[in-house]
Amino acid sequence: MSNESDRVAKKKPLLPLPTQPEGVPWPADSWPEGPLDPAIDAGRVEALTTRIAADQPEEYGQTLAMLVVHRGEVVAECYGPTADAETTLISWSMAKSMTQTVLGMMIGDGLLNPDIPAPIPEWTDDRQTITIRHLLRMRSGLTWNEDYVDGDTSHVIDMLFGTGAADMGAYAAALPLAHEPDSVWNYSSGTTNILSRIIRDTLGGAEAYATYLQERLFDPLGMSSATPTFDDSGTFVGSSYVHATTRDFARYGLFALRDGVFDGQRLVPEGWMDAARTMHAWDAEDDQGYGEHWWVLDDAHGTFSCNGYEGQRITCVPALDLVLVRLGKTPIDLGPGWRHRMTELIECFNI
């Protein structure tokens, strides 16, 4: 058994997801705000949020926004010198988790089945055994190189900015198998855009897709600032492109922490968020697990997150009823230091 398989086999059991505390309103037009619990080290929280945003330490790259939601209330919020509460910032790969949410809605509507071959017309060869579930877990077996530096070998750069930019789902779907489906984990933005193309085709085109995103996801969560980007083919670039304010990204995090329920309304089928945060692979390079389009920390708190390029992150911590949003521009080589600080911030709430 490989080290990855060993780690997955020994993964911690899922912790229950917390419900909204009684008497705490849902963040509709505005967020409820509350003081820190007296048992929490307020000075440490400030050092890991406000002071980092104000001082911009070089070792963490540029921090644009930090927001902390504890027990459903905003307890810390700060912005760097070029952003404020009204600034819409890019999601990068945090959008992948939103694509997973939309798929869950469609499966709940009976429009898709995740465990039968994915409806990709050109897959008439050995790719026809790839299922939506394989794609959600990044285990399709398709050829893909997620390299953000070397443009000569990177599929993700070519897809987002090069020959694949007009029809990103088609670009990724055209690649051959490198491995048997479900045998190898390979993180792939192309995989997400294949899923997004499936959503587009199932709904009947770009206009219907945009309406579905707005009416089924953004409007119910009160994400009034959220703006998705579509490619020329009418496919939402679900791998990378949602712009929203920090508080709207926090609304999405609270929805995930509340098991896909927002303001008493269940938006995805029961069990969908449990599937998302169940670890199916271990990324030794980043020292974290992967579920279904969500990352899994495999820590004592049941932490799971949607992560994006340059340190974008929405982190959900079930045991502590905590949501952290961090947006910024942190170079890849500084990522481990920033992630360590996020872990420190989580531990501040372990009271």
Whether residue 1 is predicted with pLDDT greater than 60 in this model: the reply is no
Given pLDDT bands bounded at 50, 70 and 90, which one contains residue 117? very high
DSSP state of 30: S
Compute the distance between CA of residue 32 and CA of residue 12 in angstroms, rounded to an integer.
32
C-alpha neighbours within 13 Å on the C-beta side of residue 67: 29
Extents of the domains making up the chain: 3-300+332-348
pLDDT at 340 (0 to 100): 87
CA gyration radius, the chain: 19
- Residue 201 host element (H or E): helix 189-203
pLDDT, tens digit (0-9, with 9 covering 90-100), for 27-48: 988 999 999 999 999 999 999 9
Closest CA to 250 of 212, 223, 213: 223
pLDDT, tens digit (0-9, with 9 covering 90-100), for 153-166: 899 999 999 999 99
pTM of the model: 0.96
Whether residue 168 is predicted with pLDDT greater than 90 in this model: the reply is yes
E strand intervals along the chain: 62-70, 73-79, 89-90, 227-228, 242-244, 261-262, 265-266, 281-283, 288-290, 295-296, 304-308, 312-317, 322-329
pLDDT above 90 covers what percent of the chain? 89
Pick 3-300+332-348's CATH classification: 3.20.20.70, 3.90.550.60, 3.40.710.10, 3.40.30.10. 3.40.710.10
Given pLDDT bands bounded at 50, 70 and 90, which one contains residue 2? very low
pLDDT, tens digit (0-9, with 9 covering 90-100), for 171-229: 999 999 999 999 999 999 999 999 999 999 999 999 999 999 999 999 999 999 999 99
Compute the distance between CA of residue 114 and CA of residue 121 in angstroms, rounded to an integer.
16
pLDDT at 297 (0 to 100): 94
Compute the distance between CA of residue 1 and CA of residue 49 in angstroms, rounded to an integer.
41
pLDDT at 6 (0 to 100): 77
- Residue 190 host element (H or E): helix 189-203
pLDDT, tens digit (0-9, with 9 covering 90-100), for 53-106: 999 989 889 999 999 999 999 999 999 999 999 999 999 999 999 999 999 999
Q: Which long-range contacts (CB under 8 A, 24 or more apart) does 77-83 make?
A: 77/49, 77/246, 78/49, 78/50, 78/53, 78/54, 79/53, 79/246, 80/53, 80/56, 80/328, 81/56, 83/246, 83/327
Given pLDDT bands bounded at 50, 70 and 90, which one contains residue 151? low
pLDDT at 312 (0 to 100): 96
Lowest mean pLDDT among 3-17, 34-48, 121-135, 303-317: 3-17
pLDDT above 70 covers what percent of the chain? 99
Closest CA to 287 of 329, 338, 339, 324: 339
The angle, 0 to 180 degrees and rounded to 10, between the axes of the packed helices 246-257 and 94-108 is: 50
**Is residue 64 left, alpha or beta, with left meaning phi > 0 and alpha meaning psi from -120 to 50?**
alpha
Lowest mean pLDDT among 5-14, 41-50, 192-201, 260-269: 5-14
When the pLDDT of each residue in the chain is averaged and rounded to a whole number, the result is 95
> Which is it for the CA torsion 266, 274, 67, 286, positive or negative?
negative
Compute the distance between CA of residue 22 and CA of residue 15 in angstroms, rounded to an integer.
20
Backbone angles phi, psi at 342, to 5 degrees: -65, -40
For the chain, how many residues are written?
351
Closest CA to 229 of 115, 95, 103: 95
Q: Are 131 and 115 in contact (CB under 8 A)?
A: yes
